[in-house]
Amino acid sequence: MMRMTMTTDDDDDDDEGRGRTTTITMTMMMMMMTLMMMITTMTTITMLLVIVTIMLLLLLMTMLLLMMRWRRRSRTRTRTTTTTTTMMMMMMMMTMMMTMMMTIDDDDDDDDDDDDDDDNDDDDDDDDDNDEMMIMLMMMMMMITMITMITMKITIL
């Protein structure tokens, strides 16, 4: 509370700049994660879908950052923009999870159609690998949500 009374307009601008850079770094981290997932599991169609969604989300993020830059003076508006950026991050995570679920389901369907009884053991191993990937993804999503919440609190305070 003491810090809130002591701050000036310049300090507010500095805090806002810090929040902006953290959101940019978060988007870069998400890009890296999606690229890693594409290399490991995804098919070409879902890869294209994910690339398109990431590009759209990055455009929206840049729009929001520009809005934050324009509305630097009033505190309430910047607070709403920070919450919208975190909402965008949540939407990005949800799209990633949905694409992963779609690819895993597609792989299962392909295995059922193509393979015979001899190869069923291999299919089970693939399913286990997919489950491990999903667990890892869930852990990463939890970490990212925690980081975004922390950055949101920093920008609001």
pLDDT digits (tens, 9 = 90+) for 42-77: 566 666 666 677 777 777 767 666 666 665 555 555
pLDDT at 140: 74
> What is the residue-wise DSSP string for 89-110?
HHHHHHHHHHHHHHHHHHHHHH
pLDDT at 9: 46
CB-hemisphere CA count at 13 Å for 90?
A: 10
How far, rounded to the nearest angstrom, does the alpha carbon of residue 68 sit from its chain's CA centroid? 20
Confidence of residue 11 (pLDDT cuts 50, 70, 90): very low
pLDDT at 1: 46
Question: Mean pLDDT for the chain?
Answer: 62
Q: Give per-residue pLDDT as tens, 91-105.
A: 666 666 666 666 665
